[in-house]
């Protein structure tokens, strides 16, 4: 758990960065629905699929992966990032950054960078490298990842198909060792 102090709407605000627990499942579910509805190209999943899932589905997702959140002082969840650590003997050195989303009201504050740094600090203790996929039409996310040291290693054409339209993704990775 880490507290940070950043400017939000011309006033300083306190944020709490922490590992989510099963008790956060309801807030996480609502937060995830928002991201899936507003930014469908940013996620491999979709609102229609996830909206029919039980609260237990989201609790299990949180408990089986390293999911981190940033909270306002009033307890509102405003930024999330997850790390999936692969379990196979030949791939357990890799982590996958997933589900990263920041509400528009906290963008440009440095919170996304702070949360990403927090997740990467954790990742360094459990994996040798982290990979991710990011929509090619999301330059602010691409910049954030590049500033954190991620490098593009490929492009996946037609990664997603949404309403008959294909969307490409960039494949990025950050090696610790």
Here the CATH number for the domain that contains residue 137 is 3.40.630.30
Q: Which residues of 56-84 are buried (b: 16+ CB within 10 A; e: fewer)?
A: eebbebbeebbbbbbbbeeeebbbbbbbb
- Domain of residue 92 covers 2-175
Q: How many helices (H) and strands (E) does the chain have?
A: 5, 8
Q: In whole angstroms, what is the distance from residue 162 CA to residue 80 CA?
A: 23
Per-residue pLDDT, 86 = 85
pLDDT at 35: 93
pLDDT tens string 155-171: 999 999 999 999 999 99
| Per-residue pLDDT, 8 | 64
Q: What is the mean pLDDT of each run of 10 residues along the chain (177 residues)?
A: 65 82 96 93 91 95 93 92 93 94 91 95 97 95 97 96 95 95
Domains identified in the chain, total number: 1
So what's the pLDDT on residue 73?
84
Identify the CA nearest to 45 among candidates 116, 133, 127, 118. Answer: 133
């Amino acid at each position: 758990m880490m507290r940070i102090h950043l400017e939000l709407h011309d006033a300083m605000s306190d944020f709490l960065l922490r590992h989510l627990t099963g008790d956060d499942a309801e807030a996480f579910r609502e937060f995830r629905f928002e991201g899936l509805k507003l930014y469908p190209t940013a996620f491999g999943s979709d609102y229609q699929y996830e909206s029919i899932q039980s609260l237990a589905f989201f609790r299990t997702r949180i408990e089986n992966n390293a999911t981190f959140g940033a909270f306002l002082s009033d307890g509102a969840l405003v930024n999330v990032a997850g790390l999936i650590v692969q379990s196979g003997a030949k791939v357990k050195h890799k982590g996958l950054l997933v589900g990263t989303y920041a509400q528009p009201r906290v963008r440009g504050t440095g919170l996304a960078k702070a949360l990403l740094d927090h997740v990467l600090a954790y990742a360094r203790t459990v994996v040798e490298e982290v990979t991710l996929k990011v929509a090619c039409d999301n330059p602010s996310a691409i910049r954030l990842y590049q500033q954190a040291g991620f490098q593009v290693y490929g492009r996946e054409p037609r990664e997603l198909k949404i309403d008959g339209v294909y969307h490409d993704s960039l494949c990025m990775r950050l090696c610790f060792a």
